[in-house]
Homo-oligomer: A and B are copies of this chain.
Amino acid sequence: MNLKNFFKELTESESAAVSMTEKQISIMSAAIEIFAEKGYSATTTSEIAKRAGVGEGTIFHHYKTKKDLLLAIPDYLSKSPGQKGLMDELLRIFERPYERFEDFLRDIAYNRRDFVAKNIPLIKVLIQEIALQPELREKASVTVLFPAMEKFSRAIERFQARGQIIDIPSVSVSKLIFTSLFGYFFTLYIAAFAFSGDREQDLEYLIGYILHGLGIADTSVNHDPETGGAVL
C-alpha cells in the first residue's frame, strides 16, 4: 500500500490515456458492457468485437489475451478520457477542509451515488470479478481501494480531532461508512433488487442514519464485547 506508487500510476495512467486509440476505447467499453451483462467468463471475444465494431483479431492486437482485457479495466478507471477523475473527485473530497462532518458525508454520498449511477457496468464488472479473480482483487486493492481508504481515514481523524464524531479507531469508522454506503448502492444498483420506495428519500435516511450512528450525542447505549453490553 504505497501512496507514491499509486499516484505515479495515476499520473502515468493519465498520460497513457492519451495513447488509447479510438479503437482501444471502443473495445474496452464494449467489453465492460458485456462483462457486466453476462459476466467475464460468459462473454465472447467475438461479441465484444461485434459490439465494438472491430474485427476479432483486432482485440488481440491490443490485449494479448481475453484476461488481459479484464485486468486492464482498473487502469481504464483513470485512463479513459471520459472517465478521467472518477476517483480523483472522491480523493479531492477527502482532502477538502470541511467545517462540518455532515457536509463532508453528504458530499461523499452524493458523489458516489452519481458515480455509481453513471458507471453501473464498470462497477458491476469490478465487484463481480474481484470476488473471483485474485489478480484483479490484488490490483484493485492496491491501486484503488487501500489508497482511498487511507486518505479517508486521515479525513476521519480530522473530524475526530475536532470532536465531531465518535472516537473509535478511524479505520473502523472508515469501514462503517464504506460498508454502509457500499451495501446501499450494491443492493440497489448492482444486485438490482426491486426494492420499492423513493431512492432519493432513502439516501437521505441513510445519511442521517450514518450521522447519528457516528455521532457523539448519546452514550447511554453502549456495549462491551466481554459482557455483552453496548459499546458506543
Contacts and interface: CB of A to CB of B under 8 A. Distances in A.
Interface of A: 37-42, 102, 106, 124, 127-128, 130-132, 137, 141, 145, 168-169, 171-172, 175-176, 178-184, 186-187, 190-197, 200-202, 204-215, 217-218, 220-223, 225, 228, 230-232
Contact of A186 (B169, B186, B200): B186
Nearest to A103: B228
Contacts of A210: 213
**Main SS of chain A's interface residues?**
helix
B168 A205 contact: yes
B225 A204 contact: yes
- Tally of this chain's copies: 4
Given A176-B209, A179-B180, A217-B217, 12 more contacts: A38-B132, A42-B132, A179-B186, A181-B183, A201-B225, A204-B223, A204-B225, A205-B231, A207-B231, A209-B214, A211-B221, A212-B213
Contact of A221 (B201, B204, B217, B230): B217
